[in-house]
Copies of this chain bind each other. A is one copy, B any other.
């Protein structure tokens, strides 16, 4: 079978080393003679995996012992609830930036728990840019932003200086570039983009952040319990965390600086072609173009099905835009090689030539 170029938005392409390690572990995990998926999560072999995954997160992000790292279940979507449940008092206010569908969902959930102040929004232009001029009030409980908007293809390359705890949903661009993680009080990320398979969610919490709300929090939704239980307050998502650990090893071996260079090279290659090619156009403010999710459209929407058909013939997978926005989207996560972007660019050129010929 020839190589499939995987542009899926998530679950998404993973490093082959992590997939290979998973296959081996399904056969015989860590020389136990048992499969990874039938061994106790409290076996010493598996506890070592979970511990290494947490340590790698801290090491890659340069975080010290003033941060706790846990792997939870429920995706970033459950974090939309757990964040305000643990941090927003009923009479308190949380500040959010509304930069897309996921940010809107996070806002909707926070409203179940307290007041929400949307300090900035790009909804006026269909979320095609990142809001930049806003003030974060010093008396709110926390400020929440979304670093990369998977559906619209915008990315925050600079974070504000926040006078209150800053919280970020980094599901779709964590580990894609260096950033000052020490500015954040809480970072969360569903694994299924740059970190691993679906089924686990990374949460990084600064010590001292918790314990300030008065509501009674159900045990499974209280961060404190998961921190104290070292991600084993209940049975963790064993397999997914194993794959994350191997993906994190691979990320560490490359390093965030080199990873960013790769991601800049890949995204520049594709955006340049979008700008050059007469058939396509970008949909996002140039300075806010995401390196992870490249959104674009065909100037003549009628050609879209033809183009997607050609992509399929050329083994280019996962290019259809999100059902909410349509168009095309190429996700260029860490593990995607530049050869895949080249293959897409060549197909865009081939399509342009075809269309020019038939005119």
Residues of A bordering B, CB below 8 Å: 1-4, 6, 8-14, 19, 22-23, 26-28, 32-35, 37-41, 73-78, 80-81, 85, 105, 108-109, 112, 190, 192, 196-200, 216, 218-221, 233-240, 243, 315, 317-318
Contacts and interface: CB of A to CB of B under 8 A. Distances in A.
Main secondary structure of the interface of A (DSSP, over half): loop
A190 B89 CA distance: 32
Contact of A199 (B22, B38, B237): B237
B40 A11 contact: yes
A34 B216 CA distance: 45
B73 A1 contact: no
A169 to B, nearest CB: 13
Given A190-B235, A192-B235, A40 B73 contact: no
A220 B112 contact: no
Contact of A4 (B34, B76, B192, B236): B34
A26 B28 contact: no
Contact of A34 (B6, B38, B105): B6
A238 B73 contact: no
A238 B14 contact: no
A197 B78 CA distance: 21
Given A108-B219, A200-B199, A26 B19 contact: yes
A198 to B, nearest CB: 5
A198 B235 contact: yes
A34 B6 CA distance: 8
A238 B74 contact: no
27 contacts: A2-B33, A3-B33, A10-B235, A11-B39, A11-B41, A11-B235, A13-B38, A14-B35, A14-B37, A14-B38, A19-B37, A19-B38, A23-B27, A26-B26, A34-B317, A37-B196, A73-B75, A75-B234, A77-B219, A78-B220, A80-B218, A80-B220, A85-B218, A112-B218, A190-B235, A198-B235, A237-B240
A21 to B, nearest CB: 10
Contact of A73 (B34, B196, B199): B199
Q: 8 shortest A-B CB distances, which residue pairs?
A: A199-B237, A37-B197, A77-B234, A4-B33, A73-B73, A81-B218, A199-B199, A198-B238
Given A14-B35, A76-B234, A199-B200, 6 more contacts: A14-B37, A19-B35, A22-B26, A23-B26, A26-B26, A112-B218
Contacts of A32: 4, 317
